[in-house]
Amino acid sequence: MTFISGSITDANPGPALYALIATPALALGWTLDDTVVIGSNTHKVLKSAAAGNTYGLDWFLDINYPTTGITGGMRFAPFEGYTAASDVGLRGPYSLSNTTIDATTYSRYGATTSALETNWANAAANTGLSATLSTSAFNYWVSITRDRIIVMTSLQTTSVFYAGFFTPTSQHTSHAGAALFPLVMCKVVVNTNAATANGATATAAFTRIPKATSVNWQTSGLVGSEMTAIGWAFSGVVGTGASEFNGLTRIAPLPVVMGAATITTSATALGHVGYLDGLATGFVVGTAVRGDTVTVGSDTWYSTTVSSNTALFMAGV
């Protein structure tokens, strides 16, 4: 894993921020598969080859940004496949409502490819999944592995962007079988420490939902960012030797949910299916500032935001 942070000031912050991310990504073994300009956006398509990631599956990360200026922000979209010769993605994140899906791969378009900003939740219209950019100075924090990328900036003080693999539960792995390809793209927002999550908690798009035949993609992807909602799955501190952080009492991973309006304990594909890697929540008594750290075991976590005593953390070095 590589973690980078710093401040950036640039008239064209998209290319500048991409360059900062690309350097450690390539050092980790990612490869640049394609560079393509579509309209006013530049797309840099990175490949994580099967041999270098947890699930032994080739997958692609499209980091796209305005070539000049800031309109539309920056997006991080995962694809199961990509063809550089024709600049088309295969089984990307899809987020429109009430659609039938392919009965073999359980994705929206099956084996049909589309341009990166066509059909996928990968355009400026999907503002919930676009990280805001600015020509004025802003801070950035980025955690990247061969399995996923997590990005946050000082421009959106309650949002964190995640793209890549999630860790499926054993029940979901068994349920999905050959259809398992655990890729998700989401914006996670700390809401409250209420007992259940709701649609405002995260904007999420999966590349496939195994064993489903139809789905309302706008409400069928959730990430649990409420501490008490996670409490049913985890009690106590993850790891050992957690240091106190302004009254931190526990820290727990964020569950991923498919096909449910609230966080559930269902082990099927239409309930609780796994966890995001490198993001966690904790209950704090007091205040925390974005960028503050807490040590859990031997790992460092960075505070991203706090709401109603619920803090969101991202993994650091």
Structural domain boundaries enclosing 197: 2-226+258-274
- Encode the chain (317 residues) as per-residue pLDDT tens digits: 899 999 999 999 999 999 999 999 999 999 999 999 999 999 999 999 999 999 999 999 999 999 999 999 999 999 999 999 999 999 998 866 667 888 899 888 899 999 999 989 888 888 788 999 999 999 999 999 999 999 989 998 778 899 999 999 888 888 889 999 999 988 887 654 433 333 334 567 889 888 877 776 655 666 664 434 333 222 233 333 334 444 444 566 777 777 655 544 444 445 567 888 888 776 655 566 677 777 766 777 777 766 665 667 788 86
Domain-embedded: residue 296:
no
Domain-embedded: residue 253:
no
The answer to whether the CB of 160 falls within 8 A of the CB of 143 is: no
Task: Give the chain's domain count.
Answer: 1
Cα separation, 134 vs 201, in Å, equals 24
Domain-embedded: residue 294:
no
Domain-embedded: residue 307:
no
Domain-embedded: residue 181:
yes
Domain-embedded: residue 262:
yes
Written as six digits, the tokens of 261 are: 């309006």
Domain-embedded: residue 246:
no
Cα separation, 34 vs 61, in Å, equals 11
* Long-range residue pairs from 152-159, CB within 8 A, at least 24 positions apart, any chain: 152/290, 152/304, 152/314, 154/290, 155/131, 156/131, 156/132, 157/290, 157/305, 158/189, 158/190, 158/305, 158/307, 159/131, 159/187, 159/188, 159/189, 159/305
Domain-embedded: residue 83:
yes
